[in-house]
Amino acid sequence: MISFEALRLICPQARPDKLNALVEPLNDAMKEHEIDDIQRETAFIAQVAHESGQFHYLREIWGPTMAQEKYEGRRDLGNVMPGDGRKFLGRGLIQITGRANYAACGVALGLDLLAHPELLEAPENACRSAAWWWREHGCNELADSGDFKALTKRINGGLNGLADRVALYEKAQEVIG
C-alpha cells in the first residue's frame, strides 16, 4: 500500500488534490493486478509518475505534435478510422493509446471505451487501466527482473525520459523501501 505522504515525497511537484484523488484507486488497482511487492510497486509508481507528469495529466496534452499526428492511420495501434489518432490519444496514468488498446482495456475493465474514451480520465479508471496494461504486458515480470531499461522500453517503446524515470524510481525505492 502506498500512502498519500509517500506519493507526495516521490512526486513533490504533484498537486495534493490530485494525489488525494488517486491514492485509494491506485492502491486498489495495484492489488487487483498483483503489483504487490516493493520491486513491482516502486517500478510501477516511477513509470506512471513519469507518464502522467507526476500525476498531473490523466490525458495526453494534444498539440498536435509531429509524433501525435503520426497516431492517425497507425494500424499497429488499431487506428483505422478517420480521427482515431486524436480520439484515442494517451489517457490514464500509463497513457493508453490507440483504438486497439482502448478496445482491449475496455473489455478488461468492463467499460465502453470506444464510445467514451474520456472514461480513462476518471481517477479510478486511470489507475485501473495503468495497472491492467502493466500486468497484461508482462511488466510485473520485468520489474521482478530489475531490468528498468527493458521495462521503460516496454512502456514507452524507447528510452524517452529515462533520467526522470530512474530518478523517480530511486526516490520511490528510498520512500517505499
Any long-range contacts for 20-24 (C-beta under 8 Å, 24+ apart)? Answer: 21/123, 22/55, 22/93, 22/123, 22/126, 22/127
24 counts as catalytic: no
Q: Enter the C-alpha cell of residue 153.
A: 522500453
Q: Which residues contact 24 (CB under 8 A, 6 or more apart)?
A: none
Taking the C-alpha atoms of residue 141 and residue 53, their distance in angstroms, rounded to an integer, is 24
Taking the C-alpha atoms of residue 159 and residue 19, their distance in angstroms, rounded to an integer, is 26
Taking the C-alpha atoms of residue 17 and residue 21, their distance in angstroms, rounded to an integer, is 6
Catalytic residue from among 5, 34, 41, 51: 51
* Phi, psi for 68 (deg, rounded to 5): -65, -35
Residues identified as active-site: 51
